[in-house]
Amino acid sequence: MEFEAVLEHIIALLQRQGRISYGALQRRFQLDDAYLEDLKVELIEAQQLAHDENGRLLRTSDSFLKMDIRAVHEWSRLKAACL
Protein backbone atom coordinates (compact mmCIF):
# COMPACT_ATOMS: atom_id res chain seq x y z
CA MET A 1 0.00 0.00 0.00
CA GLU A 2 1.37 3.41 -0.92
CA PHE A 3 2.10 6.10 1.66
CA GLU A 4 -0.93 8.23 0.70
CA ALA A 5 -3.29 5.26 1.00
CA VAL A 6 -1.96 4.33 4.45
CA LEU A 7 -2.20 7.97 5.51
CA GLU A 8 -5.84 8.18 4.39
CA HIS A 9 -6.70 4.96 6.25
CA ILE A 10 -5.10 6.30 9.43
CA ILE A 11 -6.94 9.61 9.12
CA ALA A 12 -10.23 7.71 8.78
CA LEU A 13 -9.35 5.58 11.84
CA LEU A 14 -8.52 8.66 13.87
CA GLN A 15 -11.79 10.29 12.95
CA ARG A 16 -13.75 7.21 14.03
CA GLN A 17 -11.76 6.35 17.15
CA GLY A 18 -10.12 9.60 18.23
CA ARG A 19 -6.89 7.85 19.19
CA ILE A 20 -4.89 4.77 18.27
CA SER A 21 -1.68 3.28 19.61
CA TYR A 22 1.44 3.26 17.51
CA GLY A 23 1.71 -0.49 18.10
CA ALA A 24 -1.78 -1.05 16.68
CA LEU A 25 -0.87 1.00 13.60
CA GLN A 26 2.27 -1.05 13.08
CA ARG A 27 0.37 -4.33 13.33
CA ARG A 28 -2.61 -3.25 11.25
CA PHE A 29 -0.55 -1.80 8.39
CA GLN A 30 2.64 -3.89 8.84
CA LEU A 31 4.80 -0.79 9.32
CA ASP A 32 8.45 -0.75 10.26
CA ASP A 33 9.74 1.88 12.69
CA ALA A 34 10.97 4.27 9.96
CA TYR A 35 7.64 4.15 8.11
CA LEU A 36 5.77 4.84 11.35
CA GLU A 37 8.04 7.81 12.07
CA ASP A 38 7.35 9.25 8.59
CA LEU A 39 3.60 8.92 9.20
CA LYS A 40 3.90 10.58 12.60
CA VAL A 41 5.79 13.53 11.12
CA GLU A 42 3.18 13.87 8.38
CA LEU A 43 0.16 13.71 10.72
CA ILE A 44 1.59 15.63 13.68
CA GLU A 45 3.89 18.23 12.16
CA ALA A 46 3.13 18.61 8.46
CA GLN A 47 -0.66 18.34 8.40
CA GLN A 48 -1.22 19.07 12.11
CA LEU A 49 -4.15 16.64 12.27
CA ALA A 50 -2.97 14.71 15.33
CA HIS A 51 -0.90 14.90 18.50
CA ASP A 52 1.42 12.49 20.22
CA GLU A 53 0.21 11.32 23.61
CA ASN A 54 2.94 10.05 25.95
CA GLY A 55 4.97 8.67 23.05
CA ARG A 56 2.55 5.73 22.75
CA LEU A 57 -0.63 7.05 21.14
CA LEU A 58 -1.69 9.18 18.23
CA ARG A 59 -4.72 11.29 19.09
CA THR A 60 -6.81 13.92 17.37
CA SER A 61 -8.06 17.26 18.56
CA ASP A 62 -11.77 17.84 19.21
CA SER A 63 -12.01 20.10 16.16
CA PHE A 64 -10.62 17.34 13.91
CA LEU A 65 -13.15 14.82 15.24
CA LYS A 66 -16.00 17.14 14.28
CA MET A 67 -14.77 17.49 10.70
CA ASP A 68 -16.33 15.45 7.93
CA ILE A 69 -13.80 12.94 6.56
CA ARG A 70 -14.22 14.34 3.02
CA ALA A 71 -13.30 17.77 4.36
CA VAL A 72 -10.22 16.31 6.05
CA HIS A 73 -9.06 14.67 2.81
CA GLU A 74 -9.66 17.88 0.86
CA TRP A 75 -7.85 19.93 3.49
CA SER A 76 -4.90 17.52 3.43
CA ARG A 77 -4.76 17.61 -0.36
CA LEU A 78 -4.86 21.41 -0.50
CA LYS A 79 -2.25 21.78 2.22
CA ALA A 80 0.07 19.36 0.43
CA ALA A 81 -0.40 21.25 -2.83
CA CYS A 82 0.66 24.48 -1.15
CA LEU A 83 3.90 23.02 0.22
Q: For residue range 28-60, what is the model confidence (pLDDT) as tens digits?
A: 999 999 999 999 999 998 888 899 999 999 998
Residue 40 is part of a domain; what is its CATH number? 1.10.10.10
Q: Could you tell me how many helices (H) and strands (E) the chain has, helices first?
A: 5, 3
Which of 17-26, 46-55, 69-78 has the weakest average pLDDT?
A: 69-78
Looking at beta carbons, which pairs linking 44-53 to residues 24 or more positions away fall under 8 Å? 46/79, 46/83, 47/76, 47/79, 47/80, 49/11, 49/14, 49/76, 50/14, 53/19
Phi, psi values for residue 14, rounded to 5°: -65, -40
Which residues, in sequence order, are bridge partners of residue 57?
21, 53
Q: Which residue has the higher pLDDT, 33 or 62?
A: 33
pTM of the predicted protein model: 0.75
Number of domains in the chain: 1
Q: Which domain holds residue 10?
A: 3-82
- Asked if pLDDT for residue 78 goes beyond 90, the answer is no
Q: So what's the pLDDT on residue 47?
A: 85
